[in-house]
């Protein structure tokens, strides 16, 4: 199963952040690469959704739905910009 | 309140035997591939399985050494926390008992560690007594990489995230510590019959 | 507007299926009437949610095929081992309800001001958001020069074929057929690679902006090839399609 990209979690990101984040820039806490969330490597077929840095493969975001509530772990990101207004 | 989508139903196989399906599960005929990262591809010449404890390697087997150990063929039901279950899956592998019998070991818990960085924690007694294998064949053929090949842990009495793909060893511990999915909110033990999917269940 | 609940794009709403058009044997366009659609930008998608009688739910995302201002439509390709796409392409009927939310996506969007010339690379059903972009270009009267290179397995697999064939308005459409070609085929053959793009894509010196959409392996190859031709990576936008469902 090939991974997708951050476009595929647009709805999930709205659930968690309350705004579209696909165009927001994130910085990898492991290698420092910066780029739009849309370009992250996303694995969806798992007990949770995992977004990885396209440059180094490090985990940036993990989303798990626990008893109906989406929990997100962002500790892999050094920073995540606010999305620019549409 | 969502409307019912006329005529929509999940893909499913016919009803399973009563009592054989844990609560909240449904039977699947496929074998879904679930992964949190890219499929590792460790050459067999570099592959080892190790039992470690406090930074020390207590025992280690190369691929050839593993293949030389007595192996078992087992048929088991498996249950994924994402709710699919599969009956009568056939595996061949070396029992974890066989590996632990060959090393001096103590501890009450293990942390399985894998290529790609995945980990999962289990009580030692849940990988001994004929309950766990290092499995390298599935359905009569070499285990495919997307399903965890060359070898994965097989612990069918717990949710299948505990059957770590691309397993490379077990680290013996005195205390239970959360592995990968456990850190993100999944249950430390994961008994499908008590529906222990998430921490706090 | 006192007393009126304003629905944001964050909330689910129940749309009525207003039309169904079979585009190819495995692809269907679904026209929808949502009660409260806030409009969208070309390239965005919406999420669809199905609920079975036993409460089982499945969610999928589909790119919006219609331009802003047109009747809302999505185009869905039936995946053989899919759970939702066979339902949408074969079971759904006009008059049925379909729960959706959107529009979603602020990255893979295009407006005429976003750059010129425009290079669109489509792999299979990845053509859907790119067709939306071309419809938006037409509706806004934009004169941005555009090229679409569309990779499909066979000619019968080409979606929107008649519509794409009608462009003579500054849009050049070319195809590459990867599996087989009709007799006398004069278009490209084989998967997109650097040579094909050197032939069919705007040269990097024209400072184009590119949108690449399709299966992951297609996008990786095509986007890398554009960058290899000299396209700056930040001017190559990508959207990867694939199965997202469970077993």
For chain C, the DSSP string reads -TTPPPP-TTS-EEEEEEEEEEEETTEEEEEEE-TT-----TT-EEEEEEE-TTS-EEEEEEEB-SPTTSPPEEEEEPPTT-SSHHIIIII--TT-EEEEEEEE-SSS---GGG-SSEEEEEEGGGHHHHHHHHHHHHHTT----EEEEEEESSGGG-TTHHHHHT--SSEEEEEEESS---TT--SEESS--HHHHHHHSPPGGG--EEEEEEEHHHHHHHHHHHHHTT--GGGEEEEEE------
Q: What is the pLDDT of residues C166-208, one digit of tens each?
A: 988 899 999 999 999 999 999 999 999 999 999 999 999 999 9
The pLDDT, as a whole number, for residue A31 is 98
Q: At residue A56, what are phi and psi to the nearest 5 degrees?
A: -120, -5
Share of chain A above pLDDT 90, in %: 77
The pLDDT, as a whole number, for residue C147 is 98
C246 contacts chain B (CB < 8 A): yes
Q: C4 lies in a domain? A: no
The pLDDT, as a whole number, for residue A86 is 47
Residues of B in contact with C242 (CB under 8 A): none
Counting as contact any 3 or more CB pairs under 8 A, the partners of B are A, C
Confidence band, pLDDT 50/70/90 cuts, at residue C1: very low
B6 contacts chain C (CB < 8 A): yes
Q: A8 lies in a domain? A: yes
B33 contacts chain A (CB < 8 A): yes
The pLDDT, as a whole number, for residue C111 is 93
Q: A73 lies in a domain? A: yes
Which of A4, A42, A46, A62 should we substitute to test contact with B (largest number of B Cβ atoms within 10 Å)?
A: A46
The pLDDT, as a whole number, for residue C106 is 93
Q: Is C3 exposed, middle or buried (0-12, 13-18, 19+ CB in 10 A)?
A: exposed
Q: Give the residue with greater pLDDT, C39 vs A82.
A: C39
The pLDDT, as a whole number, for residue B29 is 82
Q: A65 lies in a domain? A: yes
Same domain flag for C146 and C225: yes
B7 contacts C50? CB cut-off 8 A: no
Residues of A in contact with C217 (CB under 8 A): 2
Confidence band, pLDDT 50/70/90 cuts, at residue B12: low
The pLDDT, as a whole number, for residue B201 is 94
Residue linked to tokens 């996008």: C219
Q: What is the mean pLDDT of chain B?
A: 95
Which residue in A4, A8, A20 is closest to C106 by CB distance?
Answer: A20
Q: Which residue in chain A has the smallest CA separation from C111?
A: A86
Q: B172 lies in a domain? A: yes
In contact, B192 and B21? CB cutoff 8 Å: no
Q: B182 lies in a domain? A: yes
Q: What is the pLDDT of residues A12-51, one digit of tens each?
A: 999 898 889 999 999 999 999 999 999 999 999 779 999 9
Whether B81 has a pLDDT exceeding 80, the answer reads: yes
Residues of B in contact with A3 (CB under 8 A): 38
Share of chain C above pLDDT 90, in %: 87
Q: A27 lies in a domain? A: yes
Q: What is the pLDDT of residues C13-31, one digit of tens each?
A: 999 999 999 999 999 999 9
Same domain flag for C130 and C230: yes
Q: C34 lies in a domain? A: yes
Q: What is the DSSP letter of B2?
A: P
Q: A70 lies in a domain? A: yes
**Six-digit token pair at C131?**
């067709």
Whether B156 has a pLDDT exceeding 90, the answer reads: yes
In contact, C241 and C126? CB cutoff 8 Å: yes
Same domain flag for C84 and C187: no
Q: B51 lies in a domain? A: yes
In contact, C176 and C193? CB cutoff 8 Å: no
What Å distances lie between residue C33 and A68, C17, C92, CA to CA? 29, 6, 14
SS3 (DSSP) at B5: coil
Whether B42 has a pLDDT exceeding 50, the answer reads: yes
C78, C104, C130 - which closes a domain: C104
Same domain flag for C99 and C121: no
Q: How many CB pairs under 8 A join A and C?
A: 72
C54, C73, C104 - which closes a domain: C104
The pLDDT, as a whole number, for residue C243 is 82
Across B119-123, B194-198, C239-243, least confident range:
C239-243
The pLDDT, as a whole number, for residue C156 is 97
Q: What is the dihedral of CA B28, B31, B32, B35, to 10 degrees?
A: 140
**Which candidate, C107, C111, C137, C136, places its Cα nearest to that of C212?**
C107
**Which candidate, B74, B180, B75, B191, places its Cα nearest to that of B121?**
B180
The pLDDT, as a whole number, for residue C244 is 76
Whether C133 has a pLDDT exceeding 90, the answer reads: yes
Same domain flag for C83 and C134: no
- Structure ipTM: 0.93
Give CA–CA dist A17/B179, Å, rounded: 26
C84, C104, C124 - which closes a domain: C104
Q: At C26, which CATH number?
A: 2.40.30.10
Confidence band, pLDDT 50/70/90 cuts, at residue C247: very low
**Six-digit token pair at C202?**
């705007």
**Six-digit token pair at A75?**
């500790």
Q: C1 lies in a domain? A: no
- Domain boundaries, position C176: 112-241
Q: What is the mean pLDDT of chain C?
A: 93
Q: At C122, which CATH number?
A: 3.40.50.80
Q: B27 lies in a domain? A: no
Whether C5 has a pLDDT exceeding 70, the answer reads: no
For chain C, the domain total comes to 2
Give every CB contact of residue C155 below 8 A, 6+ residues apart in sequence. Answer: C161, C175, C177, C181, C182, C185
Q: At residue B173, what are phi and psi to the nearest 5 degrees?
A: -135, 155
- Domain boundaries, position B81: 46-194
- Concatenated DSSP letters for B27-83? E-SS-----SSPPP---GGG-EEEEEETTEEEEEEEHHHHHHS--EEEEEEEE-TTS
Which residue in C105, C238, C241 is closest to A10 by CB distance?
Answer: C105
Q: A86 lies in a domain? A: no
For chain B, the domain total comes to 1
- Domain boundaries, position A48: 4-80
The pLDDT, as a whole number, for residue B44 is 97
Rounded to an integer, the average pLDDT of C7-11 is 61
Give CA–CA dist C178/B178, Å, rounded: 48
The pLDDT, as a whole number, for residue A46 is 74
Q: At B80, which CATH number?
A: 3.90.420.10
B146 contacts A46? CB cut-off 8 A: no
A43 contacts chain B (CB < 8 A): yes
The pLDDT, as a whole number, for residue C7 is 42
**Shortest CA gap C150–chain A (Å):** 20
């Amino acid at each position: 199963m090939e991974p997708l990209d951050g476009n595929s979690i647009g709805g999930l990101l709205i659930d968690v952040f309350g705004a579209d984040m696909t165009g927001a820039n994130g910085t990898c806490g492991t290698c420092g690469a910066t780029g739009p969330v849309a370009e992250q490597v996303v694995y969806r077929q798992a007990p949770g959704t995992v977004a990885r840095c396209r440059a180094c493969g490090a985990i940036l975001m993990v989303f798990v739905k626990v008893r109906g509530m989406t929990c997100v772990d962002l500790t892999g990101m050094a920073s995540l910009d606010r999305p620019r207004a549409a | 309140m969502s409307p019912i989508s006329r005529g929509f139903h999940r893909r499913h196989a016919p009803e399973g035997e009563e009592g054989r399906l844990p609560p909240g599960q449904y039977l699947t005929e496929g074998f879904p591939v679930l992964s949190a990262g890219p499929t590792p591809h460790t050459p067999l010449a570099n592959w080892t399985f190790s039992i470690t404890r406090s930074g020390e390697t207590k025992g280690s087997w190369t691929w050839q050494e593993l293949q030389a150990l007595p192996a078992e063929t087992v048929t088991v039901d498996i249950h994924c926390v994402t709710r699919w279950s599969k009956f009568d899956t056939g595996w061949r592998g070396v029992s974890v008992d066989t590996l632990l019998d060959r090393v001096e070991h103590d501890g009450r818990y293990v942390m399985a560690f894998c290529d790609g960085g995945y980990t999962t924690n289990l009580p030692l007694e849940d990988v001994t007594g004929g309950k766990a294998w290092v499995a390298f064949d599935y359905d009569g053929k070499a285990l495919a990489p997307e399903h965890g090949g060359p070898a994965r842990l097989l612990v069918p009495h717990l949710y299948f995230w505990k059957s770590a793909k691309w397993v490379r060893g077990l680290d013996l511990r005195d205390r239970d510590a959360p592995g990968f999915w456990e850190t993100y909110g999944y249950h430390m033990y994961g008994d499908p019959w008590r529906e222990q999917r998430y921490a706090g269940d | 507007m006192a007393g009126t609940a304003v629905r944001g794009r964050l909330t689910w709403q129940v749309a009525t299926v207003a039309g169904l058009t079979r585009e190819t044997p495995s692809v269907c366009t679904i026209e929808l009437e949502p009660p409260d659609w806030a409009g969208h930008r070309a390239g965005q998608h919406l999420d669809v949610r199905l609920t079975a009688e036993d409460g089982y739910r499945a969610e999928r995302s589909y790119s919006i095929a219609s331009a802003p201002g047109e009747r809302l439509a999505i185009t869905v390709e039936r995946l053989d081992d899919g759970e939702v796409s066979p339902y949408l392409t074969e079971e759904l009927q006009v008059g049925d309800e379909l729960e959706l939310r959107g529009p979603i996506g602020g990255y893979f969007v295009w407006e005429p001001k976003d750059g010129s010339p425009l290079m669109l690379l489509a792999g299979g059903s990845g053509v859907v958001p790119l067709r939306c972009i071309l419809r938006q270009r037409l509706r806004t009267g934009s004169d941005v020069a555009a090229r679409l290179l569309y990779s499909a397995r066979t000619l019968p697999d080409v979606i929107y074929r008649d519509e794409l064939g009608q462009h003579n308005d500054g849009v050049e459409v070319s195809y590459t057929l990867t599996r087989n070609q009709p007799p006398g085929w004069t278009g490209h053959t084989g998967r997109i690679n650097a040579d094909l793009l050197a032939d069919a894509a705007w040269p990097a010196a024209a400072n184009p902006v590119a949108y690449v959409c399709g299966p992951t392996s297609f996008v990786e190859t095509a986007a890398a090839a554009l960058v290899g031709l000299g396209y700056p990576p930040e001017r190559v936008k990508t959207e990867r399609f694939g199965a997202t469902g469970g077993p």
